Amino acid sequence: MSKMISGFSKMSKLEKISWLAENYFQDVKKGKQILDQYVNHDEQLQLLHDEFIENTISNFYVPYAIAPNFLINGKSYAIPMAIEESSVVAAAALTAKFWSTRGGFQAEVISTTKIGQVHFLFDGAYEALEAYFLSVKQELIKATDGITVNMRKRGGGIVGIELRDRTNDLDQYYQLHVTFETGDSMGANFINSCLETIAGEFEKEGISIIMSILSNYVPECLVRAEVSCKTEDFFPENAEVYAKKFVQAVEIANVEPYRAVTHNKGIMNGIDAVVLATGNDFRAVAAGAHAYAAKDGRYTSLTQATVEKGVFKFWIEIPLSLGTVGGLTKLHPLAKLSMEILQFPDARELMKIVAVAGLAQNFAALRALTTTGIQEGHMKMHLMNILNQLEANVHEKELIIEEFKNTSVSHSAVAESLHKIRTGH
Ligand code: MEV
């Protein structure tokens, strides 16, 4: 039987589900029941979700949690995080508490501009192209006036347009490299609309526009967050030794890409969870962060650490393109609530909060890795997943959590204990 279909998007939701069930579900009743369990029974709310994307048949939840006790530039925050991975939120909360008694996190926005490019081919002499560009440059900006008027009122807009010759890399390839300031919005639609208008205005015989699109590489939309303390306060015992080990762990990530990718993945556990909880685009943020990690030609750590003159210092510098207005931020009720919990930050403040969440996550990972190892904490948090997989009831869960308080967790050990409880031997 062919499982291809045309006109799927035109079907009603029920028709889509029926088609899917007939063709792909092993157990039609169970499959439909699962889809239905995740549908929101508030019809208006479900409609909102349905209309975020196409062909919606249900919702896919991830847990939404809070990491309290973050002190950032002297102000306290409870940070909302949306993530499925065990231990990420616990690690954030522990780290927040740890640093709240050591002066908290300091964070600053370094820059806020974003880039979009019109990519085109030109087969004539560069001088002629440059002369044309200079003659129409003001017209290009003027053509976007209707689109930029509101943004300009809020202090944003087009900051500059450059003609870039890239023919050394690709035959006939040039760009209009446009810099934007987008205020409190992430600005993707704004930037893309401006670029398409600029491209339309710029195009003429001999110039072949290939595409116009924003860049998710935003090295000039940069934020820095930092923690520091006396080295002796770093750890209850052997603080000097552990602080140095921590610094060495960062240095390893600086020189070894295999480690750097995992190191930065841990940072993104924190970053993406807050980005998602605030309705921002976590794929854009992740792409930009990893590109920044490779900006000097080798993939390296996004954080740095030093121990100097009895002071331990640990910091992150990361590009973050975020919005606090527009997109999902004002549409998704939980994203809106996240903004409320964060005390209605503007985009710059949100950049600081998100960078801190990344730094905190990396701190927790490195401290665990260089002391007890990561598995102890991880497996403790993973215990609930194992118990759920084994379909333990509330009473069995209580007994096993107690039993494994001081013992190392593994799937087989938990299964064995559960078996003992259930069979009595
Ligand atoms: C797991 O999601 C993240 C870590 O692997 C990060 C790291 O190794 O630094 C624990």
The amino acid at residue 199 is A
Residue 279 zone, left/alpha/beta (φ > 0; ψ -120 to 50; rest)? left
The amino acid at residue 246 is F
Of the candidates 13, 378, 380, 397, the residue annotated as catalytic is: 378
* Radius of gyration of the CA atoms of the chain, in A: 26
Q: Kindly state the average pLDDT of the residues 302-319.
A: 98
pLDDT band for position 317 (cuts 50, 70, 90): very high
What's the mean per-residue pLDDT of the chain? 95
Whether 1 shows a pLDDT value over 70: the answer reads no
Whether 384 shows a pLDDT value over 90: the answer reads no
| CA 418 to centroid of ligand 1, rounded, Å | 29
Q: In percent, how much of the chain has pLDDT > 90?
A: 92
pLDDT band for position 278 (cuts 50, 70, 90): very high
132, 133, 273 from 128: Cα distances, Å:
6, 9, 49
Tell me the two tokens of residue 129.
């192209």
- Strands (E) located in 207-282: 207-214, 222-230
What single string gives the DSSP state of each residue in 304-367? EEEEETTEEEEEEEEE----SBSGGGGTSHHHHHHHHHTTS--HHHHHHHHHHHHHHHHHHHHH
Instruction: Report d(CA 169, CA 154) in Å as an integer.
Output: 38
Whether 294 shows a pLDDT value over 90: the answer reads yes
Compare 393 and 2 and report the one with higher pLDDT: 393
So what's the pLDDT on residue 352? 98
Regarding the beta carbon of 262 and ligand 1, being less than 6 Å apart is answered yes
| CA 379 to centroid of ligand 1, rounded, Å | 13
Whether 2 shows a pLDDT value over 70: the answer reads no
DSSP helix/strand/coil, 66: strand
Per residue in 105-156, pLDDT tens?
999 999 999 999 999 999 999 999 999 999 999 999 999 999 999 999 999 9
Listed residue (365, 338, 278, 279) closest to 90, CA to CA: 365
Regarding the beta carbon of 265 and ligand 1, being less than 6 Å apart is answered yes
Whether 69 shows a pLDDT value over 80: the answer reads yes
Residue 85: active-site member: yes
Ligand 1: which of 89, 263, 366 to mutate, most ligand atoms within 8 Å of CB? 263
What single string gives the DSSP state of each residue in 287-310? HHHHHHHTTTSS---SEEEEEETT
Residue 233: active-site member: no
Which atom of ligand 1 sits closest to the CA of residue 269?
A: 2
Residue 272: active-site member: no
Of the candidates 13, 244, 245, 265, the residue annotated as catalytic is: 265
Of the candidates 281, 332, 349, 382, the residue annotated as catalytic is: 281
Q: In percent, how much of the chain has pLDDT > 70?
A: 99
Whether 374 shows a pLDDT value over 80: the answer reads no
| CA 261 to centroid of ligand 1, rounded, Å | 9
Q: CA 203, 177, 179: angle at the middle one, nearest 5?
A: 120
Residue 325 zone, left/alpha/beta (φ > 0; ψ -120 to 50; rest)? beta
Regarding the beta carbon of 266 and ligand 1, being less than 6 Å apart is answered yes
| DSSP secondary structure letter of residue 397 | H
| CA 363 to centroid of ligand 1, rounded, Å | 10
Tell me the two tokens of residue 181.
């300031």
Nearest CA to ligand 1 atom 4: 266
Contacts of residue 67, defined as CB under 8 A and 6 or more positions apart, other chains included, come to 78, 79, 81, 89, 92, 93, 96, 357, 360
Nearest CA to ligand 1 atom 6: 266
Whether 360 shows a pLDDT value over 70: the answer reads yes
What residues form DSSP beta bridges with 314?
227, 305
Question: 231, 260 in Cβ contact below 8 A?
Answer: no
CA 310 to chain centroid? 34
Instruction: Report d(CA 97, CA 108) in Å as an integer.
Output: 21
Residue 265: active-site member: yes
Q: Kindly state the average pLDDT of the residues 390-410.
A: 90
DSSP helix/strand/coil, 42: coil
Q: Long-range contact list for 280-286, CB < 8 A, 24+ apart?
A: 280/186, 280/322, 280/323, 280/327, 280/328, 280/329, 280/350, 281/186, 281/188, 281/321, 281/327, 284/186, 284/188, 284/216, 284/321, 285/320, 285/321, 285/322, 285/354
| CA 360 to centroid of ligand 1, rounded, Å | 12
So what's the pLDDT on residue 424? 87
CATH 3.90.770.10 fits 81-108+225-371, yes or no: yes
Judging by DSSP bridges, how do beta strands 106-109 and 75-82 pair with one another? unpaired
Regarding the beta carbon of 259 and ligand 1, being less than 6 Å apart is answered no
So what's the pLDDT on residue 405? 85
CB atoms within 10 A of CB 38: 11
The amino acid at residue 149 is V
Which atom of ligand 1 sits closest to the CA of residue 362?
A: 9
Whether 201 shows a pLDDT value over 80: the answer reads yes
Regarding the beta carbon of 140 and ligand 1, being less than 6 Å apart is answered no
Of the candidates 85, 108, 256, 396, the residue annotated as catalytic is: 85
Instruction: Report d(CA 225, CA 110) in Å as an integer.
Output: 10
Q: Which fold has domain 114-214?
A: Alpha-Beta Plaits (3.30.70)
**pTM of the complete model:** 0.92
Ligand 1: which of 245, 261, 262, 362 to mutate, most ligand atoms within 8 Å of CB? 262
- Which uninterrupted H or E stretch holds 157? strand 157-165
So what's the pLDDT on residue 379? 75
Ligand 1: which of 248, 367, 369, 381 to mutate, most ligand atoms within 8 Å of CB? 369
So what's the pLDDT on residue 76? 98
Least confident of 103-112, 157-166, 356-365, 396-405: 396-405
Which atom of ligand 1 sits closest to the CA of residue 253?
A: 9
Q: Kindly state the average pLDDT of the residues 204-222.
A: 98
Regarding the beta carbon of 367 and ligand 1, being less than 6 Å apart is answered no
Question: 82, 332 in Cβ contact below 8 A?
Answer: no
| CA 362 to centroid of ligand 1, rounded, Å | 8
Nearest CA to ligand 1 atom 10: 365
pLDDT band for position 356 (cuts 50, 70, 90): very high
What's the number of CA atoms in the CB half-sphere (13 Å) around residue 177? 10
Question: 214, 114 in Cβ contact below 8 A?
Answer: yes
| CA 264 to centroid of ligand 1, rounded, Å | 8
